[in-house]
Amino acid sequence: MLTRELFALVLAVAPVPAEDAKVLALGLADHEVTQEELDKGTALAPPRFNTPAIAYTSIANLKKGDVVEIMLVNDDRPLLHSTETLAEDQAKYLLQAGKRGVPAGGWPEGSYHAALTVTRDAKPLIEQSSPPIPFD
């Protein structure tokens, strides 16, 4: 009987683990995206050789001190990136990297993708890439 009471007491005071960080959205678009677009599940137009190109990610359950980096990558070459170290916990966080304009002559040939890295306590927590797409 005493064992059950101790077990119940331990369950009652044990801290509830926080949810793990998870990627809600990761991809490429031809414009800066908003969290509202991502929440609605709006289909985003992919970049083309003559449009802007933005790599984006939306992530849930981030903690103070997490480092989030998003990169626009052509084949295996990072072109543009954005990195943020969080000053406070974030239930939902949106980070983007890219170019609002178009490079002279259009984007170089190749396949493009968004690459995401989330680091917590100097250890990789998430490493993920979007499917590669050509800029037609």
pLDDT tens-digit profile, the chain (136 residues): 433 443 333 333 433 345 799 999 999 999 999 999 999 998 999 999 999 999 999 999 999 999 999 999 999 999 999 999 999 999 999 999 999 899 998 999 999 999 999 999 999 999 999 999 999 8
> Of 56, 60, 59, 49, nearest to 33 (Cα)?
56
CATH code of the domain covering residue 103: 2.60.40.10
Q: How far are the Cα atoms of 4, 16, 99, 102 from residue 9, in angstroms, in the given order?
A: 9, 14, 56, 62
Is residue 90 situated within a structural domain?
yes
Range of the domain at 69: 19-134
pLDDT of residue 7: 36
75, 120 Cβ separation under 8 angstroms: no
Report how many domains make up the chain.
1
Is residue 78 situated within a structural domain?
yes
Cα torsion through 89, 93, 97, 100, rounded to 10: -130
Is residue 12 situated within a structural domain?
no
The reported pTM is: 0.84
Is residue 55 situated within a structural domain?
yes
Is residue 117 situated within a structural domain?
yes
